[in-house]
Amino acid sequence: MIRITVNRLPILILVFTLNLSGCSDHTSPGYFLAEYIRRLSRVTGIDIPEPDFAIPKLPPLRQRAYPAPDIRIKALEALDLLKCPPLSQAVAYRNSSLGKQMLPSQHYFYEKTLLSLIPQCIDSLGQTDQNREVTAKLQQILREKQATFPAIEWNLVFANTEVSKQLNSQGRLLSTNDQANFQGTREALNYLTRLLPHQLVEPPYTSTDLENHLQQVAANRYLGELIYTAALLSQTLDNAANILQLRLKKGPVCPAADPAEAERLYNVFRLFYREKIQPYLARVDQQGIIIRNDINRLLSLLPAAPQEEMRRYLSLITQALNINSPWYQLEQSIKHHTTIWAEFLDQCGKAPALQMNQSH
């Protein structure tokens, strides 16, 4: 089971902070998720379960990046490329001080340019006796670069700081109005999906345009917040279901000697779950489906992850059928939560008010 359990102390601090921030903003997810559990606990007299939940953790760079050596650069330098000025200039730039400090995005475009320039040079040299040895070496270098280019494509996505920032939530939930970050992240993912199969280096697929999209990715932490939110929603629903389940084990709520308890419980359900949490949950669930599809389309264009730890991580954040994934656990939590509330509402003759079905 590959799960990274969050330290309990930071979570307790987080819950306390969410309650404090809720005093000034009762519309924030942090407030209404914490308040939902607090109200249920107060009405039933059952203690809130100890906070403890798990989120997937992005592996360190060494476990998510392919080594990308400069294949045959020295061999290219040794060749007489005066008849191929563009290729000669590209090799010279790679060995300059700027060329040696390329970012993954710049390295990607450099290697992609070479994959275009080397065949052009081979064609311009022709197959004369004078050039046969040079063209044979260029063909060998081209084959080697074509074989390693998928690793460079992978590093473009997962070895840069922009995507790693996106995948780190810093313990923050999605806001109730995050449409701009959602759309911006989708736009960047879909740009990469269009860029990778494109064989040429030409507008709109330029280094500058790519950098703009990567900056858009780095400008927010949408992906990390989405995953963190799914995990916290799952814990919230489980805690609510467990509190209510323990109450039902004590005896029926309806009919009861204290009709006010049933009414208070229903009010908590209506005011916090149905009116605030359920719409938020539905949006998180829907966006999760869309974003997972976007990431999986991008992954289909890339080689397998370089190490098993990264493969497991990607499965956790993209595969709803992985039983350790936040998405699978959220679906199970919704079912559990729905079942327990249905029992209470049925007892109290309020079953028609039960509208908990999500997009599952």
Domain spans of the chain, in order of start: 63-158
What is the model's pTM?
0.86
pLDDT at residue 9, rounded to an integer: 34
Residue 354: pLDDT over 60:
no
In angstroms, the Cα distances linking 38 to 42, 186, 265, 357 are: 6, 35, 12, 24
pLDDT tens for each residue of 247-279:
999 888 887 667 888 999 999 999 999 999 999
Q: Per residue in 33-66, is it b (16+ CB within 10 Å) or e — as a string?
A: bbbbbbbbbebbebebeebebbbbbbbeeeebbb
d(CA 341, CA 131) in angstroms, rounded, equals: 79
How do residues 5-57 score in pLDDT, each as one tens digit? Answer: 333 333 433 443 444 444 447 789 999 999 999 999 999 999 988 877 789 99
- Per-residue model confidence as pLDDT tens digits over 156-167: 999 888 888 899
Of all residues in the chain, what percent carry a pLDDT higher than 70? Answer: 86
Q: How confident is the model at residue 73 (pLDDT cuts 50, 70, 90)?
A: low
The SS3 of residue 302 is coil
| Minimum mean pLDDT range among 36-40, 113-117, 122-126, 236-240 | 122-126
127-148 mean pLDDT: 85
